[in-house]
Chains A and B, each alone.
With several copies, the nearest count.
Chain A
C-alpha cells in the first residue's frame, strides 16, 4: 500500500509491473488515470494548478485505502497524485488496485477515486481566457461518494 504526492509525471506500466512481480496471487489489476481536459464548464483551459495540504493529504488517502481494504480483498494498492502546474492531456492522478478477482479490484479502485474527489485535500485552479479561477466542487462527486455509504 503506497501513497505519493509529487510534481513529476508517473508511469503506469512501471507501477503495475512492480506490483505484479511482487505477488503471484494477483490475478486482476484495476486502474484509473485522471487527465487534464482542455475545456471545463464551457471555457478553454490553458493550465491547471494543483495545491494540497501536505501531511493531511497522505494521511487521508492512506485512511481511504484502509477503508477499501476493509470492504474488499485488496492485495496491493497505489495512489499517485500530482501537484503543481499541468496542461491539457497531462496525467493528474493514478489509482491502482490489485486483487485476486476483478470484481474486488474494480470496486475498490472506483471507491478510492470517489473518495479522493470528495475528501482528499487537493484544490484545482484553472487558467482560462477570463483569467485564473478556483474550480468549484461538483455535486455529482459528492453523490458518487455517497453511493458507498450504506
Chain B
C-alpha cells in the first residue's frame, strides 16, 4: 500500500485529499503512477494529464517522473506552490 495525498485545487477537483492504494505491480515510478491515476477518467484525466502543470513529492521530498515509488511511500500531488 502507498498513501496518496492531494492538495489545493487537486484536492477539490478530485474530491479527496487522501487515499490508500495497493501499488499496481507495473508502477515503479512517479511518472507511471501519474499515468495510472489519469486512467480513472473524468477529473483524474484532466488533473493528471501530461500537459498539466503538476508538482509531486515522494516521502515529503520534491520528486520527478523518474523518482521511484515503492510500497509504504507517501506520495503527494499538488499545483505549483503559492505561499509567502
Contact = CB atoms under 8 A, between A and B. Distances in A.
A137 B84 contact: no
B79 A50 contact: no
A32 B47 CA distance: 35
Contact of A134 (B8, B83, B84): B8
A93 interface: yes
Contact of B83 (A59, A102, A122): A122
A113 B76 contact: no
* Most chain A CB inside 10 Å of its own CB: which residue of B5, B79, B81: B81
B76 to A, nearest CB: 6
B68 interface: no
A121 B78 contact: yes
Q: In terms of DSSP, what is the predominant structure of the interface of chain A?
A: mixed
A135 B82 contact: yes
B5 A53 contact: yes
A52 B82 contact: no
B83 A55 contact: no
A116 interface: yes
Nearest to B55: A121
B51 interface: no
Interface in B60-84: 60-62, 76, 78-84
A69 B9 CA distance: 34
Contacts of B79: 123, 134, 137
B7 interface: yes
Closest 5 CB pairs of A and B: A122-B83, A137-B80, A123-B8, A56-B60, A117-B84
6 contacts: A55-B60, A93-B84, A113-B84, A121-B7, A137-B79, A137-B81
Interface of A: 34, 50-53, 55-56, 59-60, 81, 92-93, 102, 113, 116-125, 134-138, 141
Interface of B: 5, 7-9, 11, 57, 60-62, 76, 78-84
